[in-house]
Amino acid sequence: MALAERIHRTIDATHWRGEIPLNYIYTPGRAGEQFLRALLDEETFLGARCAACGVTYVPARIFCERCFARIEDSFVKLGKRGTVHAFTVSHETFDGVRKEEPSIVALIKLDGADGVVLHRLGDVDPGDVRVGLPVEAVFKPKKDRQGSILDVRHFRPAKG
Amino acid sequence: MEITKEMVERTATALKLEDITKRKVLTTPWQPKVQYAWDDGPAIGRYLAELKNGRIIARTCRKCRRIMIPPRMFCELCWRPSDDWTFVKDTGVVNTFVISHVDWKAGRLDIKGGERPLTPAVIEIDGASAGMGILHMLDEVDPWQIKIGMKVQAVWKPQAERQGAITDIRYFKPLAPERKRGK
Amino acid sequence: MGYRRVAIIGAGMTKFVRFAQETGKELAYEASKMALDSAGLDLSQIDCVSVGSAPDAFDGVHMKGEYLADGSGGWGKPVMRNFVGGGTGVMNVIHGWHHVASGMFDTCLVVSEEKMSSAFPHPAGAFVTIFDHTTEQPIKPTLLWIFAIEMNRFMNAHGYTKRDIAQVAVKNKKNAIDHPCAQLPGEITVDDVLNSEVMAYPVNRLDVSPTSDGAAAVILAAEHVARRVCEKPVWIDGVGWALDTAYWCTRDLYYPDYVEVAARKAYEMAGIKEPSKEIHIAEPYDPFTYKELHHMEGLMLCKRGESVKLLNDGVTQRTGNLPICPSGGLLGVGNPISAAAVMKIIEIFLQLRGEAGKRQVPGKPTCGLAQAWGDLMQVGTVVVMRS
Amino acid sequence: MGKRVAIVGIGTTGFRATTPDVSYRELTYEAAVKAYLDAGIEPKEVGAFVATSEDLIEGYSISDEYSPDQLGAVLKPIHTVPGDFLQSLANGMMLVQSGFADLVVVQGLSKASNILNVGEVLTFAEDPVTVRPLCETPHAVAALDMCRFLHETGTTREQCARVVVKNRRNALRNQRAAHGTLLEACDVLAAPPVAEPLGRYDIAQHADGAVVVVLASEERAAHLRRAPVWIRGIGWATDAPSLDSRVWGDARYARLAADMAYRMAGIRTPRREIQFAEVNDEYSYKELQHLEALRIYERGQAGRATEVGATEPTGEFPVNVSGGSLGCGATFDLDGGQKLLEVVLQLRGEAGTPQLRGVTTGLAASWRGVPSATGAVAVLSN
């Protein structure tokens, strides 16, 4: 409507294909650098605590989003244990392809943190996962770690 | 309050290129694959189809009497549907131009090694309303001989290679008299 | 008609650098935090946030306004992003003005950020995709071309030479020596510009502003708040913005009509009849040398074809009668697109308060202007400020 | 109390899964022509325009370049809000209230069908360092939120499925909707899982379409032909953008946005003072979660209400009579435009077959989709 003339043959309804051709390299930032290095070197999650708000963020960040205090000097090591805050059994990849094996994606509330880490669960049957399940991070061997969130292979039910 | 050097000192940490390429800082790469198929619609669809036929088509507005290229189904100035199709010529006049030593990736052309600079131009198409041009490339001319106001003509791909795209015109070249002044 | 008066009461910015270690969020935080501190406010006193950032393709994050919201002080607040390409920085302040002038909010934190270095090795792919996807991108254009195309037309129309225009780079880079955030300050000569690498004739390397990372922020407040919390509010007395057609090849690029339309609106609002006399200091957008001159003409700070004369006569020097880009501009301070234009707003803010330090222009200016430009040579955004 | 702002014209193309015969230009043009005709105005009378777009959705690096022509806005004040349509509407409202313009146009568009890989685009919105490398589907973000919502409120998957059944059936009666169909709850529950508990039918499919709205000041509205629909309240808010620190299981952004809109509208008991709503239901559970965040239902009660038919067109509080996002189609940042359109048409008595009787106040609530934590709310009255 609104046009004086329209396409009236299917064959004339054409399209043009294209893309946005880009490549990125991201720095993790001042806080992120330390967060990733803590995974890499110490197998621990680094958080940041805002004393005024009583909130512990993880990953560590340089500012408290609630009160805008600078918390760059209040980083805390949170270890690698926590509980499942929420989970999903995921059957598709991010580009929409059906996975052969579904993965379990979870929000992990690390002990001592208020925030959550998004990661995968492993060494567990989907049917056995529940909210509140205690879990721990499984790290790749040191030689395979690169300073990435993927240095953590997954979380698994905590032992003991 | 003045903004002083001391105040801004810690606001941004300047890295060197090699800090990134040699991973002195940690980095995470990503190459998005964002692809589209944009519907042409009647105006651009016909424009491309006629390019495949070796012709340039425009749309007219009866009210402002403009002959519009690229064609559009409405006149953006009169705010009414456009009226008719009309073919325009494949010749035109250089409105403005560039002698580019860089390509779209910001890569440098090897000018000293004899590579020809890219010479894009806005070309006012003959038969379209005054000042109505398109972006295209100039070639078969010494870049430094290009002048604003120069008459040019489309050089088409052979019919079999045309696919209904703006690149069915390979480039524009000077009309015959000007050509003698080229290399 | 009477508008609710809106003032700028605080400002902050990061250094502008080619590769910042900081994330976009962190840069936004540093600028926002400094702005809050300078106004003596804490985040709870901010009613809303306006985020300005140029293409998502620079930082490499879709919905960048969402991504930047926490670093911009937007947690749990009304946050809205605005976008007019390269014109976004000044638009962002205008957008903040919308928020406060409407009466819906009393304070607004206006934050602009750009991290162009994420696009690696160069954000060229982001530039090719600003052109029409079907009728122009297949020709593989680059952003430089549109500047070169426009500059050539501008030179041709007025008989300006590259030597004339090169003086803008000399002036602005020199001005930037006194700017603590500057990325590319320096003493250069006209010959340095003319002898620098040819990028795309008529544009040489030193005609071009750099690729940058950085952030800048200002705080806007309604009059009753501004008078209470701020000793030297700077008033936003006029705003204007306009976009021309996307069919850019059908316009005569020698003159920026869109800047004139935007400026007329801002002048009308500010009650300015003779801009060249009533405006004491200006920060027109200068991502490329010729652009400063092109915009001075569009802003009617001089007659068409006379901008070079003002430049030649030293009128636009920091010590001249109409200082232009006393900050050092994008050519000297750097060009993290939208943050660069907020830097211009900040420069006028500081100059009108007499707080520009070594950059302070003489004569106690009371009326200044900042302007930005963007898209396909298409958008003008103008703010007129008074002390 | 700000100056009153009215909607005096609205135009739409309606929504279809694909629109292969028109470009984004012509799609917007159609909605604009209709909106201006509806308002009885010419674009040259308009003081300012607000366009809505996100670059990666349009497939441009600076998509705002392409906003003026098809709105008749060449050399006019026009800018783009990369946000939800209702945020653009709020911006338009501010432009009227400030006195900058007494006639403002707000535009939104979806050409979702032109995006070949939506998952890639949405993943590109996730944090590049801490989330994106996992390469999980963006639907997982919604699924985690849903998991938490079900866990905290006791809402069931069946109740969510009832939302799908209702909205897609409602869409069958709405000529503007793209995805109407007859399903039963068991069909929804039996559909292949995408990210559990989300199955295929729990996720709205996309649609193309455009909406253009004309806003006017009270003085100007008095001289226009259409009876105004008043924007009584508007609100928008962003919760923590990072996945790590936001509230999961509750739409805090919607709660904050609604609080702002209700405050402006002077609404204390939304459930009583508002008669119907169009709320974002891009995922089935979102309708329920949003209704609770909007204080229409107590936490944990929206599922029950749905089960007993309270949100059906014939129920006590009709929700998404249009079919919502599940029935009309998900349209990215046109979401709020699709919701607003239906509320305006209902209040004018022009909704067609799904027309509710005697309604005077309605609510539109949008969400910017995963992984955002931003939503907007508008309260409208005739």
ipTM: 0.97
Per-residue pLDDT at C127:
86
Please provide the DSSP assignment of B67-127 as one string: EESS--SEETTTTEE--EEEEE-SEEEEEEE-EESB-TTSPBP-TTTTPPPBEEEEEEEBT
Distance in angstroms (rounded) separating the CA atoms of residues A141 and A156: 16
What band does D1 get if pLDDT is binned at 50, 70 and 90?
low
Q: Which of B149, B27, B162, B167 is nearest to B94 (CA)?
A: B149
Q: Are C135 and B44 inside 8 Å of each other by CB?
A: yes
Q: Rounded mean pLDDT of chain B?
A: 94
How large a percentage of chain C has pLDDT more than 70? 100
Which of B7, B21, B27, B79 is most worth mutating to test chain A (most A CB atoms within 10 A of its CB)? B27
Q: What is the pLDDT of residues C145-203, one digit of tens each?
A: 989 999 999 999 999 999 999 999 999 999 999 999 999 999 999 999 999 999 999 99
- Going through C163-298 in order, the beta strands assigned E by DSSP cover 198-201, 203-204, 213-222, 234-243, 281-283
All residues of chain D having their beta carbon less than 8 Å from the beta carbon of residue A154 are: none
Per-residue pLDDT at D336:
98
Torsion of the alpha carbons at D331, D333, D339 and D344, rounded to the nearest 10: -120
Mean pLDDT of C316-326: 98
φ/ψ (deg, to 5) at D175? -65, -15
Which of A118, A151, A154 is most worth mutating to test chain D (most D CB atoms within 10 A of its CB)? A118
Q: Are C334 and C340 in contact (CB under 8 A)?
A: yes
**What is the amino acid identity at position A83?**
T
What band does B177 get if pLDDT is binned at 50, 70 and 90?
low
Q: Which residue of D has its CA nearest to B35?
A: D116
What band does B85 get if pLDDT is binned at 50, 70 and 90?
very high
Which of C102, C111, C258, C259 is most worth mutating to test chain D (most D CB atoms within 10 A of its CB)? C102
- What tokens were used for D174? 């709405």
Shortest CA gap C205–chain D (Å): 24
Q: Which residue of C has its CA nearest to D84?
A: C80
Q: What is the pLDDT of residues D141-155, one digit of tens each?
A: 999 999 999 999 999
Q: Are B32 and D124 inside 8 Å of each other by CB?
A: yes
All residues of chain B having their beta carbon less than 8 Å from the beta carbon of residue A27 are: 15, 20, 25-27
All chains having 3 or more CB pairs closer than 8 angstroms to chain C: A, B, D
Q: Are B43 and D70 inside 8 Å of each other by CB?
A: no
DSSP state of C116: G
Per the rule left: phi > 0, alpha: psi between -120 and 50, beta: everything else, D205 is beta
Distance in angstroms (rounded) separating the CA atoms of residues D197 and A126: 12
Q: Which residue of A has its CA nearest to D118?
A: A95
Cα dihedral A15, A16, A17, A23 sign: negative
Per-residue pLDDT at C1:
54
- What tokens were used for D182? 């007859």
> Using CB atoms, which residue from A15, A85, A148 is nearest to D133?
A148
Q: What is the pLDDT of residues A100-155, one digit of tens each?
A: 999 999 999 999 999 999 999 999 999 999 999 999 999 999 999 999 999 999 99
Q: Which residue of B has its CA nearest to A148?
A: B28
Q: Are D124 and B77 inside 8 Å of each other by CB?
A: no
- Going through chain C in order, the beta strands assigned E by DSSP cover 6-13, 48-52, 79-82, 107-115, 198-201, 203-204, 213-222, 234-243, 281-283, 367-374, 379-386
Q: What is the pLDDT of residues D119-136, one digit of tens each?
A: 999 999 999 999 999 999
Q: What is the pLDDT of residues C260-293, one digit of tens each?
A: 999 999 999 999 999 999 999 999 999 999 999 9
Distance in angstroms (rounded) separating the CA atoms of residues C166 and C176: 16
Per-residue pLDDT for B98 more than 60? yes
All residues of chain B having their beta carbon less than 8 Å from the beta carbon of residue D70 are: 74, 76
Q: Taking the CB of residue C122, how many other CB atoms lie within 10 A of it?
A: 15
Q: Which residue of B has its CA nearest to A23?
A: B31
- What tokens were used for C209? 């502003």
Per-residue pLDDT at B182:
45
Shortest CA gap C48–chain B (Å): 23
Shortest CA gap D10–chain A (Å): 15
Which of C22, C66, C113 is most worth mutating to test chain D (most D CB atoms within 10 A of its CB)? C66
> Using CB atoms, which residue from D26, D117, D120 is nearest to B41?
D26
Per-residue pLDDT at A17:
97
